[in-house]
């Protein structure tokens, strides 16, 4: 498993758990050192236990030596990052580098599997790269096996997937990957490589579209006096639509939706199709962050020297991941207008300190309320629901909640004397 980020560090140990012998590789030596000393480079519920258990059982190891790892393996998963460039296209240099390293290290037949999210037709480039650097003419196949896990429930998602997608161009590669995943007993979709690559981009694009749909609907709800939560409940009960990903809020973030959508729009454009529908999904998402800031200004008037307490920084609950978190843009806009921001997140503080300058980080959720003119909810951590709202109110200078995630009940907040502003309610 090459790349031990959120995907590789979940997939590798989970494959060990279902009985395989797994070597996890990363070229970030500090990550490997942390793992080899029994530590965790990321927060992901339930993952450390699986790593400890399988390492003890001798099925799992961590190394920065890609050559030794590849030489000793029959299947190589590429799970490195595919970050966005300015243009929206993904930077596939990491994938290419790994393909070259694999080509130079292979000793016997290998299935080289793209697990990273990549644009359709990347498989062809991986094949070409390996052919170019495969001096020993070692036989190999390329395959696509996109990953659908979600941070925060990654272990459960990996071990109980809705489906496993296997894109292959030979029976041998298909049989190898079917064997790898057999212990999961999950539904499997076997396709060609291009279709597997597209299934991943299409899935993330569709989910982002659901979120932007709910967000656009929330604006109509606000203007008409309807409640978005009731509307989406009623809409989502239609089995053709489904309830998931219909929560209105401040927009999606994270390392997947924003970059995958941009990458999908870019590759579709390259292939001659202007996927305008998805550009609109992106536009709605960006607008939700600006709308949230406008709501804050709408209730506070000028922001200069106003004190704003922020609950939640991670792009979603149960993760420490700050990549493309809406909090970064929103807090950036608040700070740019002169607001004094104090923030707390249960897991993402260390990462947030690196990407959000000019604010104060608090040790406890309660502390962000001290002397605050407004409390902004940016991530719906479930433990925030248990906060003593009356105590928060007493610490605030002015009791106003701007709830970007519809975490709290309006009636309860208003009974306690808060001015409550949600999304689409
Ligand atoms: N994070 C998610 O929830 C998620 C879900 C599904 C798919 N994906 C996709 O999976 C891929 C990885 O995402 P991630 O969140 O795990 O990224 P990540 O940045 O957390 O991890 C990538 C890892 O690859 C390592 N790496 C880079 N170049 C390397 C090399 N040459 N050799 C060895 N290691 C190398 C990096 O050091 C890093 O640890 C991306 O394409 C992403 O879109 C992510």
Ligand 1 proximity of 82 Cβ (cutoff 6 Å): yes
Ligand 1 proximity of 2 Cβ (cutoff 6 Å): yes
Catalytic residues: 256
Tens digit of pLDDT at every position of the chain (425 positions): 999 999 999 999 999 999 999 999 999 999 999 999 999 999 999 999 999 999 999 999 999 999 999 999 999 999 999 999 999 899 999 999 999 999 999 999 999 999 999 999 999 999 999 999 999 999 999 999 999 999 999 999 999 999 999 999 999 999 999 999 999 999 999 999 999 999 999 999 999 999 999 999 999 999 999 999 999 999 999 999 999 999 999 999 999 999 999 999 999 999 999 999 999 999 999 999 999 999 999 999 999 999 999 999 999 999 999 999 999 999 999 999 999 999 999 999 999 999 999 999 999 999 999 999 999 999 999 999 999 999 999 999 999 999 999 999 999 999 999 999 999 99
Atom of ligand 1 nearest to the CA of 118: 41
Distances (CA, A) of 373 to 176, 249, 289, 311, 312: 60, 21, 20, 14, 17
Compute the distance from residue 92 Cα to the ligand 1 centre, in Å: 11
DSSP string, 375-387: EEE-S--GGGGGS
Contact between residue 93 and residue 54 where contact means Cβ atoms under 8 Å apart: no
The pLDDT of residue 357: 95
pLDDT tens digits, 370-392: 999 999 999 999 999 999 999 99
Contact between residue 399 and residue 334 where contact means Cβ atoms under 8 Å apart: no
pTM, two decimal places: 0.95
Through-space distance between the first and last CA atoms of the chain, rounded to whole angstroms: 45
Compute the distance from residue 11 Cα to the ligand 1 centre, in Å: 11
Compute the distance from residue 79 Cα to the ligand 1 centre, in Å: 5
Atom of ligand 1 nearest to the CA of 9: 16
Q: Residues with Cβ < 8 Å from 302, sequence gap 6 or more?
A: 337, 338
What rounded mean pLDDT belongs to the chain? 97
User: Cα dihedral sign for 276, 280, 285, 289?
Assistant: positive
- DSSP element (H, E) containing 310: strand 307-311
pLDDT tens digits, 264-298: 999 999 999 999 999 999 999 999 999 999 999 99
The pLDDT of residue 163: 98
Neighbours of 9 (CB within 10 A): 25
Cα–Cα distance measured from residue 412 to residue 385, given in angstroms and rounded to the nearest whole number: 12
Ligand 1 proximity of 80 Cβ (cutoff 6 Å): yes
Cα–Cα distance measured from residue 186 to residue 164, given in angstroms and rounded to the nearest whole number: 7
What is the layout of strands, in order, in the sheet containing 75-78? 75-78, 110-114, 140-144, 164-167, 188-191
Which of 81, 100, 197, 320, when mutated, tests ligand 1's pocket best, judged by the most ligand atoms within 8 Å of its CB? 81
The pLDDT of residue 274: 98
Ligand 1 proximity of 5 Cβ (cutoff 6 Å): yes
Ligand 1 proximity of 425 Cβ (cutoff 6 Å): no
Compute the distance from residue 275 Cα to the ligand 1 centre, in Å: 26
Compute the distance from residue 391 Cα to the ligand 1 centre, in Å: 42
Which ranges in 301-373 belong to alpha helices (H)?
326-336, 349-355
């Amino acid at each position: 498993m090459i790349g031990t980020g959120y995907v590789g560090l979940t997939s590798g140990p989970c494959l060990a758990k279902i009985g395989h012998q797994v070597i996890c590789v990363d070229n970030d030596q500090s990550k490997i050192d942390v793992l080899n000393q029994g530590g965790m480079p990321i927060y992901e519920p339930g993952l450390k236990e699986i790593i400890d258990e399988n390492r003890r059982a001798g099925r799992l190891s961590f190394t920065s030596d890609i050559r030794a790892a590849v030489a000793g393996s029959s299947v190589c998963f590429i799970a490195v990052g595919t970050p966005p460039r300015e243009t929206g296209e993904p930077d596939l240099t990491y994938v290419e580098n790994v393909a070259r390293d694999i080509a130079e290290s292979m000793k016997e037949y290998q299935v080289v599997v793209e697990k990273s999210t990549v644009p359709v037709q990347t498989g062809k480039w991986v094949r070409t790269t390996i052919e170019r650097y495969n001096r020993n003419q070692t036989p190999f196949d390329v395959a696509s096996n996109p990953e659908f896990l979600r941070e925060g429930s990654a272990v459960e998602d990996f071990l109980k997937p809705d489906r496993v997608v296997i894109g292959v161009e030979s029976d041998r590669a298909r049989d190898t990957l079917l064997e790898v995943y057999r212990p999961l007993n999950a539904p499997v979709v076997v396709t060609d490589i291009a279709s597997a690559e597209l299934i991943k981009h299409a899935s993330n694009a569709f989910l982002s579209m659901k979120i932007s749909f709910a967000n656009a609907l929330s604006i109509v709800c606000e203007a008409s006096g309807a409640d978005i939560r009731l509307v989406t409940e009623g809409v989502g009960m239609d089995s053709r639509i489904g309830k998931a990903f219909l929560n209105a809020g401040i927009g999606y973030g994270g390392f997947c939706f924003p970059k995958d959508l941009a990458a999908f729009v870019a590759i579709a454009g390259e292939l001659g199709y202007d996927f305008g529908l998805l550009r609109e999904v992106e536009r709605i998402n960006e607008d939700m962050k600006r709308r949230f800031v406008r709501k804050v200004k709408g209730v506070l008037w000028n922001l200069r020297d106003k004190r704003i307490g922020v609950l939640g920084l991670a792009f979603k609950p149960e993760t420490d991941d700050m990549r493309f978190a809406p909090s970064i843009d929103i807090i950036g806009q608040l700070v740019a207008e002169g607001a004094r921001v104090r923030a707390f997140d249960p897991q993402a503080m260390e990462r947030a300190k690196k990407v959000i300058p000019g604010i104060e980080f608090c040790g406890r959720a309660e502390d962000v309320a001290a002397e605050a003119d407004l409390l902004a909810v940016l991530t719906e951590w479930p433990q925030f629901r248990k906060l003593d709202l009356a105590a928060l109110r007493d610490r605030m200078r002015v009791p106003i909640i701007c709830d970007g995630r519809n975490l709290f009940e309006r009636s309860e907040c208003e009974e306690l004397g808060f001015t409550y502003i949600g999304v689409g309610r």
